[in-house]
Amino acid sequence: MSKHVTHWINGKPFEGTAERRGDIYDPAAGVVSGSVDFASSTEVDAAVAAAKAAFPGWRDTSLSKRTAILFRFRELVHRHRDELARLISAEHGKVVSDAAGEVARGLEVVEFACGIPHLLKGGFSENVSSRVDAYSILQPVGVCAGITPFNFPAMVPMWMFPVAIACGNTFVLKPSEKDPSASVRIAELWAEAGLPEGVFNVLHGDKAAVDGLLEHPDVKAVSFVGSTPIARYIYETAARNGKRVQALGGAKNHMVVLPDADLDLAADAAVSAGFGSAGERCMAISVVVAVDPVGDELLAKIKERVAKLRIGPGDNPESEMGPLVTRVHRDKVASYLDSGVAQGATLAVDGRETPVLGGGADGFWLGPTVLDHVTAEMDCYKDEIFGPVLTIARVGSYDEAMGLLSDNPYGNGTAIFTNDGGAARRFQNEVEVGMVGINVPIPVPMAYYSFGGWKASLFGDSHAHGMEGVHFYTRTKAVTARWLDPSHGGVNLGFPTNG
Ligand code: NAD
């Protein structure tokens, strides 16, 4: 039966009729499995109005009541994690265990937000001047919007709304139109947890919905995660419209393997981080930088592991890697195999030949692919492929490896594999990348740190979750207070100084 997904506004499904809809696919079968309503200005206005109306009451809800709702929400998401994982897998294509992993990482941010009474404590200085006290308070900004990508339909929204809502804001989420169901189930769980109507809303759609939010005068802050061209557009448009904005963009993550590294560990890491979720992760490793003389041995170990990977539908427990999200994306990723070879790379493993465990012949399949002898001039190196294509660049030295990283426009994640503490320390100090792994391939920060890249991987200056998330979703007010006593001093036109 074909499903139909609609918006969630003011604590319930939206009842109007959509002017436009988009298709939802089952990527393993390669067929349409349902449709999703696309918002026009009517639905954008309704969602923002609901969030605006809910804001004063939610802002003034005590920290203990907010925290109690967050704890209940945490329990409900935990209890329904398998159901959420299956919803994600059915629309995204990733295997169910991987989808459960993203729900677990999202839950960590909810758990972080459960500590909001501690996180929102301001500062207090007694007697900064004679009988004058100074203190700071953190207040919510108002209606916040989150615009999120297809590749983590639960985790990336959960980088945003738990912190925003805990801080006392109300929220409109515009998830990816490719896999919209998880966000609606999350909205139902919020309602079950006792969140007041209008505090969390879900608006589906494409550019029209996004532009409606970016231009709406009642939206005060915008968080975005997605590709670099759209991140730049969101940053510029939201800023032009007077909103605070954080926009996380695309990636090209390099994994440097030094000659002294444990090559079995490095090969395990490269294969896991290159092909997990079919490479559709912003922290996927896409370039292995093999420092001479490790190239041949490392490639042999990678090939050995790739040959054992099992590709199939996400709900088959035997599958380790699912299909890609759409046919268009699958074909674009596959095009880099031909262009890479035409530009001089060696096709060490051809994913077009990988057998598939069940699933439809029309599924959006592409097996794990390895392109060796890749250089900085090739399109497969320059572009973010966002699929199961691991490229290997061979370099002569650490300095040459660092040169590649420095010249690359992206700066999301990177990793170094070595047993030399000095080399690792030098790397972490020098590299212009926001998230660094040392013998760890996907260094996704824990919820109490903040997630974000540098260079073309982030526009704005705030990373997601952790204390940077708390700062993004609050405004600081500094108060200077004197309770008058008989010696207040009278009129003084001089600039206030301490005394
Ligand atoms: P995308 O940029 O195409 O879409 C992201 C969101 O923007 C979606 O909600 C989409 O509806 C909306 N959108 C798309 N085109 C738009 C337009 N022209 N105007 C306004 N809004 C538009 O990204 P995607 O394909 O869904 O996701 C994959 C990308 O996200 C990759 O580049 C990946 O690296 C990136 N990503 C980055 C991070 C990070 O933390 N830096 C995390 C996850 C994904």
Pocket test for ligand 1, best of 150, 179, 227, 385 (most atoms within 8 A of CB): 227
Q: Which residues are catalytic?
A: 282
- 365 contacts 312 by C-beta, under 8 angstroms: no
- The protein residue with its alpha carbon nearest to ligand 1, atom 38, reads 282
Tell how strand 170-174 and strand 410-411 pair up.
Answer: unpaired
The answer to whether the CB of 213 is under 6 A from ligand 1 is no
Q: What is the reported pLDDT for 494? A: 86
Rounded to whole angstroms, the Cα distance separating 420 from 426 reads 10
Question: What is the ipTM for the molecules in this complex?
Answer: 0.99
Token code pair at residue 17: 């009729």
Nearest to 32 by CA among 79, 90, 113: 90
Please give the number of the atom of ligand 1 that sits closest to the Cα of 205.
11
Phi and psi dihedrals of 311, rounded to 5? -105, 130
The answer to whether the CB of 174 is under 6 A from ligand 1 is yes
**C-alpha of residue 159 to centroid of ligand 1, in Å:** 15
Please, which residues have CB within 8 angstroms of residue 148's CB and are 6 or more apart in sequence? 156, 157, 160, 173, 174, 175, 176, 224, 225, 226
Rounded to whole angstroms, the Cα distance separating 278 from 322 reads 6
The answer to whether the CB of 282 is under 6 A from ligand 1 is yes
The answer to whether the CB of 460 is under 6 A from ligand 1 is no
Phi and psi dihedrals of 467, rounded to 5? -65, -30
**C-alpha of residue 248 to centroid of ligand 1, in Å:** 9
Pocket test for ligand 1, best of 36, 160, 282, 325 (most atoms within 8 A of CB): 282
Q: What is the reported pLDDT for 461? A: 94
CA geometry: angle 100, 102, 108, nearest 5 deg? 105
Domains and CATH numbers, the chain: 3-249+465-480 (3.40.605.10), 253-438 (3.40.309.10)
Buried b (16+ CB within 10 A) or exposed e, 240-279: eeebbbbbbbbbbbbbbbbeebebeebbebbbebbbbbbb
Please list the rounded mean pLDDT of every run of 10 residues in the chain (499 residues).
94 93 97 98 98 99 98 98 98 98 98 98 95 96 99 98 99 98 98 98 98 98 98 98 98 98 98 98 98 98 98 97 98 98 98 90 96 98 98 98 98 98 98 98 96 98 97 98 77 81
Nearest to 393 by CA among 493, 225, 255, 209: 255
The answer to whether the CB of 450 is under 6 A from ligand 1 is no
Provide the whole-model pTM. 0.97
